[in-house]
Amino acid sequence: MTTQAIVLLIVFLLSLLVLAYPLGTYLAQVGAPGTIRGLGGVAFFERVFYRLAGPKATADMNWKTYALSLLVFNAFGALFVYAIQRWQVWLPLNPQAFGNVAPDSAFNTAVSFVANTNWQGYAGETTMSYLTQMLALTCQNFFSAATGIAVVYALIRGFSSRGQSTAIGNFWVDITRSTLYVLLPLSILFAVILMAQGVIQNFSAYKEVALLDPVTYSQTQTNAKGEKVLDAQGEPVMEAITTTTQTLAMGPVASQEAIKMLGTNGGGFFNANSAHPFENPTPLSNLIEMLAIFLIPTALCFAFGRMVGDIRQGWAVLGAMTIIFVIMTLVVMGAEQQAHPGLQQLGVDQQASQLQSGGNMEGKETRFGISASALFAAVTTAASCGAVNAMHDSFMPLGGMVPLVLMQLGEVVFGGVGSGLYGMLVFAILAVFISGLMIGRTPEYLGKKIQAYEMKMTSIVILVTPTLVLLGTAIAVSVSAGTSSVANPGAHGFSEILYAFTSAANNNGSAFAGISANTPFYNTMLAIAMWFGRFAVIVPLLAIAGSLAGKIPAPVSAGTMPTHGGLFITMLIGVVLLVGVLNYVPALALGPIVEHLQLLVAP
Amino acid sequence: MSSENVSSENVSSENVLPEKMASKNLSLFDPTMVAPAIADAYKKLDPRVQLRNPVMFVVYVGSFLTSALFLHALLNEHWANAGFIFVISMALWFTVLFANFAESLAEGRSKAQAASLRVLKQNLFAKKLATPKHGSTWEPCPVADLRKGMVLLVEAGDVIPVDAEVIEGVASVDESAITGESAPVIRESGGDFSSVTGGTRVLSDWLVIRVSVNPGEAFIDRMISMVEGAKRQKTPNEIALTILLVALTIVFLVVTVTLLPMSLFAVEVAGSGEPVSITVLIALLVCLIPTTIGGLLSAIGVAGMSRMMQANVIATSGRAVEAAGDVDVLLLDKTGTITLGNRQAADFIPAPHVTEAQLADAAQLASLADETPEGRSIAVLAKQKFNIRAREMASLNASFVPFTAQTRMSGIDIGNRAVRKGAAETMKRFVESLGRPFPDEVSQVVQDIARRGGTPLVVVDDGTVMGTVELKDIVKGGIKERFAELRHMGIKTVMITGDNKLTAAAIAAEAGVDDFLAEATPEDKLKLIRHYQAGGRLVAMTGDGTNDAPALAQADVAVAMNSGTQAAKEAGNMVDLDSNPTKLLEIVEIGKQLLMTRGSLTTFSIANDIAKYFAIIPAAFVATYPQLKALDIMNLTSPTSAIMSAVIFNALIIVVLIPLALKGVKYRPLGAAILLRRNLLIYGLGGILVPFVGIKLIDLILTALNLV
């Protein structure tokens, strides 16, 4: 690991703290009813929406109504995204005249964007019209992020309520306010900053530009029917091709890029995602994008502290997240900076120096180098963003395992917008439950007793994703439709499948790549994993919120276990690692661990 | 049997029980307990019993599966394989049996304790009348057999065995144990004074009474049925924990089931090795699911109630035992709990021109014939301070003037010299009627004492005001430290007293309670409990009188004194056989211990998984990927030995932890954070490390015995 990597990590974390702390205070105000001082103008719009929606639009809901509204809203969102993709050829803003998206791919993409996963089986610049990108995908980037914030607001209200009613707020109000007050203004700001760095924003048709140097490459010859031409030995005939021009994809990128990061969506405008120069042109834009990913998840921790009336609670949760994140980041940075044994045998110099970044540069952009790529990989998988600026598939085995593990922890280390915090709070409930018993009291978190009902719902939450990941992977490796998509042999092929299901069920959306996922089998299986990974967690979580809301908070005494100090943070980290990782140990052993051992320890 | 004989046996149970209880402290693996428990462990292999414990049921099914696999291997003459499967299968069966044994042992101990209580009750006899009138013949009847409607005779000196209705006779009854009122009350048939209460004592004459309720033995029956697995209801925290354990079991079931296709795929792509066998998968599953806590969970619950019984407390619901650990507020009666039962003389404050010794002398004279505890305490203080020895009434030629409702003072007359003591108001009227002055200084002292919470008694000798005796509540020794401990545990103590606010405040300060309720009526108590509960607190209280019943019913943990009324016992959820109100503190500790034991063993159980993974994962897949040998950090002899050792460890750890489950994790009154750190270190870190050592040891033994 290089000094530059350490400095980058420290600068990143400090900038994050400086930006997120005030935003947390603001988010707490957005989560509470009433007008925010200085924003009367926005409040006017807000009231207009409610007026249009009818007299009962802002009434408090119990958890069932809240969950139902949320499900209906997201189901309609999915239908809408599906419809636009299926009809895009007849709709405007399609300068490249892309055809309608295939049903299985459209279904996968619709679920993917609604579930805040943004797994992309398609390549954006060759599939989606500008209208689809903007109206279907970008809009869902906003709504899925707002849904996450709404759920975490509801859960926090469950903790902070005085026990007089089981209401947990109003879904429509929460989603309106988080979009109107938070996501929209921040996105506009970030879009402008990104444009200043060189991210494009236009409706032009794709540009054909002349190359500075012609490029010659060979490819298999095909006949008129598109079949490969074979020679006498049955080998394909190769022909040399020289190109002098390149097609550059255009589009309204900056506006989508901002919310893609802020909403931890991660669905790239282009297939290359944030490795593409038009999405992420400079090292500075790279830092800004990483900050944007963590900004709202971090700020929500502070908002949580403020909304429950004890900022230390927010610090504790953030502390646990940060410690896990730093450890994981150091591992991936170390793994990527180390020399690859294969290249070492060839006598290649892999030491970092003034002239080169050293380490494993395969699949990484030279403008980012090892540390910015490694940090980006940790950030994007710690948060459920899934944007990538390097090929995770090309990482060293341990470097690739870290993103995998970060996702398998349940996307609770910072995690998705809202979903990271609510996931972490479930782990906190679990930690409190076990430690509460250990000190001889019915466990309580923030004064609310954690009893059988909460444990039942918590159990469902912690059961859902491992079940989806492991069952999905098991099915995929058992059927030919699953195994035929794998390009890499051996344990790495297994890692790729495991990564795909881990990413989908945990709503991350990043791809290990190396596996052709745009097949009916993977499109369907992954869509199922994404939908249930998102909503089978949200519904029991809202049930917890409703149950907690109805409980009278117990006052703090010397017998109450403090949930802010170092001890609780340690306990929380322990529970996250133990419950999060134990389920995946055998699968990891058959994937990245054995790859690592094969490569480095006992080749 | 003569009547004397019976009445001497017919003593109140609280005098007998403590010695009897000592016999209940059986050693943990007492042979008389172990043998039936082993037999019972086999009986519990009934699938209907196993189904009640989902975690162990998975092991149970695994035992059958591996047994079938063993038979299959035998029939196909796979000898080497069969040996391995046999060991795994046996280890699984023993895991189930050990868990059954733990539960049986806990149940056996509780039943033995409960049975000793039942025997004890039967040793007490009541005088059952043949015909319901005085003078008819009576026969001894065990108290346990008393039923509603039976007619009994109680005579002077007898304890009334149960709540009853007087149908004939008049007698004075000492109800001090229940009401705190030391003066005897008259009970007679008809009218308002016809009901008598269990635990009270007849002082004079006799009564014929009709039993109005079935006796308190029902509590013991309820207790016994609670410790019997079939009828035992899971407590709220136990349910919550079981849900978590079931969830972990399901998740590990998914992990192991999906491992088979993953392993097949690995063999396919690696082109070497054998896919993982079903036996190894079952072994892995059983090692991963929380069998340690799952197997000991019900034993812990039963043992918790057992510990209550050891403390001479009979809980009528497991829920209450558990709630005891959560109590935030203790409501304690002042008298008997915080202070000694009676006020005692603490100081002599002489009037002007009188010495303290003169006052003490007069006060002692006035108290010579006074047999009340207050009167005796004056004599004691006089002796302590001025060595004034007791004098004989006869030698002084004195006559006793008892306290009456009219005079409201007491003392003695020596010839014409009248020595009196009494309340200030009374004495003032008394001296003024004699035309003598009542000094202002004395009035001042009287007011001061009253403000401090004491009781002033003014002593007059032959018309002269000698001064004031200060009577004070004496706070029990060590109680202040006890309350400080409780404060550490986060429990608030509230003193309940009928005294006025001044008095209450003074005693509260001296005893170190956090709060007090003065001039308390039953309604006030009820209101106070509701107030605390509305604030999210759990309230515990003790009570004995019928008027406590509503508050007892409202409190989350309500301990009725065995000496109390039937109504109180019915309203509470625990009965303290010793009738010792400080018992609440012990009850809280036992409740906490129960939860701590569960929590600690859960942590231990989950933490164990790390070592088991290190043993089993390399063993299961080393044939496919030889590089995985690097994960075998324990350096075990062979893959089969590794898997056997892990499964055997998993079974043996249950037996090793039985003593801990039955005795409970030791509770220390420390703050929550310190307690958590300590238990995390012992059971969390210990849970990670112990199995590494244990599995390695078993592996060494298996290797030494040439079993692998």
* Residue range B272-288, pLDDT digits in tens: 888 999 999 999 999 99
Contact residues for A70 (Cβ-Cβ < 8 A; gap 6+): A147, A150, A151, A171, A538, A542
Q: Which band of pLDDT confidence, cut at 50, 70 and 90, is reported for residue B659?
A: very high
Decide if B62 contacts B282 (C-beta within 8 A): yes
φ, ψ for residue B195, nearest 5 deg: -100, 140
* Cβ atoms < 10 Å from Cβ of A12: 18
CA atoms within 13 A on the CB side of B430: 23
Q: Does A36 touch chain B (CB under 8 A)?
A: no
Under DSSP, the state recorded for B453 is T
Inter-chain touch A555–B627, beta carbons under 8 Å: no
Say whether pLDDT at B393 is over 80. no
Q: Give me the residue label for tokens 């012992």.
A: B682
Q: Which band of pLDDT confidence, cut at 50, 70 and 90, is reported for residue B341?
A: low
- Residue A385 Cα distances to A264, A269, A421, B133, angstroms: 4, 14, 14, 90
Q: Which of B251, B328, B630 sits opposite A583 (nearest CB)?
A: B251
> If we measure between CA atoms, which residue out of A402, A391, A436, A429 comes closest to residue A275?
A391
Rg (CA), chain B: 34
Task: Give the chain B residue nearest A487 (alpha carbons).
Answer: B269
Inter-chain touch B325–A598, beta carbons under 8 Å: no
Give the gap in angstroms from C-alpha A527 to the nearest C-alpha of chain B.
20
Task: Give the chain A residue nearest B246 (alpha carbons).
Answer: A459
Q: How far apart are CA A365 and CA A357, in angstroms?
A: 11
Inter-chain touch B595–A442, beta carbons under 8 Å: yes
Inter-chain touch B613–A471, beta carbons under 8 Å: no
- The bridge status of strand B170-174 relative to strand B313-315 is unpaired
Contact residues for B178 (Cβ-Cβ < 8 A; gap 6+): B197, B199, B200, B544, B545, B563, B564, B565
Q: How far apart are CA A596 and CA A590, in angstroms?
A: 10
**Mean pLDDT per 10-residue interval, chain A, length 603 residues:** 90 97 96 86 89 86 96 97 95 92 95 94 92 94 96 96 91 95 96 96 92 87 76 80 91 94 93 94 96 97 96 96 97 92 85 86 91 95 93 91 94 94 96 91 90 95 95 94 84 92 94 86 96 97 96 84 91 92 92 90 58
In the prediction, which pLDDT does A347 show?
Answer: 84
Say whether pLDDT at B336 is over 80. no
User: CA angle at residue A62 from A60 to A65, to 5 degrees?
Assistant: 95
Under DSSP, the state recorded for B438 is -
Q: How far apart are CA B527 and CA A78, in angstroms?
A: 55
Q: Does A440 touch chain B (CB under 8 A)?
A: yes
In the prediction, which pLDDT does A546 show?
Answer: 96
Contact residues for A180 (Cβ-Cβ < 8 A; gap 6+): A42, A45, A46
Inter-chain touch A462–B328, beta carbons under 8 Å: no
Q: How far apart are CA A321 and CA A261, in angstroms?
A: 19
Decide if B329 contacts B537 (C-beta within 8 A): yes
Decide if B196 contacts B187 (C-beta within 8 A): yes
Give tens-digit pLDDT for B534-582: 888 889 988 777 777 888 888 999 988 776 666 777 788 888 877 776 7
Helices marked H in A518-598: 520-549, 566-582, 585-588, 594-596
Q: Which of A438, A473, A559 sits opposite B680 (nearest CB)?
A: A438
Q: Would you mind telling me the total number of residues written for chain A in this entry? A: 603
- The bridge status of strand B539-543 relative to strand B557-561 is parallel
- Residue A331 Cα distances to A5, A15, A374, angstroms: 12, 22, 9
Q: Give me the residue label for tokens 């007090």.
A: B516
Tell me the domain boundaries of chain A. 207-248, 417-601
Q: How many helices (H) and strands (E) does chain B have?
A: 26, 21
In the prediction, which pLDDT does B65 show?
Answer: 96
Residue B226 is encoded by which pair of tokens?
């609670």
In the prediction, which pLDDT does B178 show?
Answer: 52
Q: How far apart are CA B673 and CA A561, in angstroms?
A: 6
Q: How far apart are CA B396 and CA B384, in angstroms?
A: 22
Q: Which of A554, A559, A602 sits opposite B489 (nearest CB)?
A: A559
Q: Does A134 touch chain B (CB under 8 A)?
A: no
Among left, alpha and beta (phi > 0; psi -120 to 50; other), residue B668 is: beta
Residue B664 is encoded by which pair of tokens?
């409970």
Decide if B496 contacts B332 (C-beta within 8 A): yes
Give the gap in angstroms from C-alpha B676 to the nearest C-alpha of chain A.
6
Q: Give me the residue label for tokens 């709709």.
A: A91
> If we measure between CA atoms, which residue out of B59, B103, B454 comes closest to residue B287?
B59
Mutate to test the interface with B, among A162, A435, A438, A594 (most CBs of B within 10 A): A438
Residue A507 is encoded by which pair of tokens?
């709503």
Q: How far apart are CA B540 and CA B643, in angstroms?
A: 50
Inter-chain touch B262–A586, beta carbons under 8 Å: yes
Q: How far apart are CA B659 and CA B653, in angstroms?
A: 11
In the prediction, which pLDDT does B132 show?
Answer: 83
Say whether pLDDT at B437 is over 90. no
Taking only residues 151 to 170 of chain A, the set having a beta carbon closer than 8 angstroms to any beta carbon of chain B reads: 163
Helices marked H in A354-418: 369-382, 397-408
Inter-chain touch A441–B325, beta carbons under 8 Å: yes
Under DSSP, the state recorded for A392 is G
Name every chain B residue with its beta carbon within 8 A of the beta carbon of A438: 596, 599-600, 603, 675-676, 679-680, 683
Decide if B344 contacts B378 (C-beta within 8 A): no
Residue B288 is encoded by which pair of tokens?
């991963």
- Selecting among B158, B163, B333, B544, the annotated active-site residue is B333
Residue A142 is encoded by which pair of tokens?
């906003």
Q: Give me the residue label for tokens 């009979």.
A: B314
Exposure pattern of A47-66 as b/e (b: 16+ CB <10 Å)?
A: eeebeeeeeeebebbbbebb
Q: Would you mind telling me the total number of residues written for chain B in this entry? A: 708
Clarify whether B333 is annotated catalytic. yes
Decide if A125 contacts A249 (C-beta within 8 A): yes
Q: Does A232 touch chain B (CB under 8 A)?
A: no
Q: How many helices (H) and strands (E) does chain A have?
A: 23, 4
Q: How far apart are CA A587 and CA A468, in angstroms?
A: 13
Count contacts between A and B (CB, < 8 Å).
Answer: 221
Task: Give the chain B residue nearest A459 (alpha carbons).
Answer: B247
Give the gap in angstroms from C-alpha A571 to the nearest C-alpha of chain B.
8
Decide if B382 contacts B350 (C-beta within 8 A): no
Inter-chain touch A491–B258, beta carbons under 8 Å: no
| Chain Cα centroid distance, residue A594 | 27
What ipTM was estimated for this complex?
Answer: 0.92
- A524: burial class by Cβ within 10 Å (0-12, 13-18, 19+)? middle
Q: What is the pTM of this model?
A: 0.85
Q: What is the mean pLDDT of chain B?
A: 83
Give tens-digit pLDDT for B7-43: 333 333 333 333 333 344 557 777 888 888 999 999 9
The mean-pLDDT minimum among A583-592, B486-495, B696-705 falls in: B486-495
Give the gap in angstroms from C-alpha A590 to the nearest C-alpha of chain B.
7
Q: Does A566 touch chain B (CB under 8 A)?
A: no
Rg (CA), chain A: 24
Decide if A23 contacts A296 (C-beta within 8 A): yes
Q: How far apart are CA A260 and CA A388, in angstroms?
A: 11
Name every chain A residue with its beta carbon within 8 A of the beta carbon of B247: 459-460, 462-463
The more confident residue out of B182 and A58 is A58
In the prediction, which pLDDT does B7 show?
Answer: 38
Name every chain A residue with its beta carbon within 8 A of the beta carbon of B667: 440
- Residue A196 Cα distances to A189, A191, A292, B393, angstroms: 11, 9, 16, 111
Name every chain A residue with its beta carbon within 8 A of the beta carbon of B320: none
Name every chain B residue with its beta carbon within 8 A of the beta carbon of A467: 250-251, 254
Decide if A501 contacts A473 (C-beta within 8 A): yes
Taking only residues 399 to 438 of chain A, the set having a beta carbon closer than 8 angstroms to any beta carbon of chain B reads: 430, 433-438
Residue A361 is encoded by which pair of tokens?
């540069």
Q: How far apart are CA A120 and CA A267, in angstroms?
A: 7
Q: Which of B269, B593, B602 sits opposite A494 (nearest CB)?
A: B269
Give the gap in angstroms from C-alpha A338 to the nearest C-alpha of chain B.
20
Taking only residues 186 to 225 of chain A, the set having a beta carbon closer than 8 angstroms to any beta carbon of chain B reads: none
Inter-chain touch B599–A593, beta carbons under 8 Å: no
Q: Which of B266, B602, B630 sits opposite A494 (nearest CB)?
A: B266
- B230: burial class by Cβ within 10 Å (0-12, 13-18, 19+)? exposed
Q: Does A442 touch chain B (CB under 8 A)?
A: yes
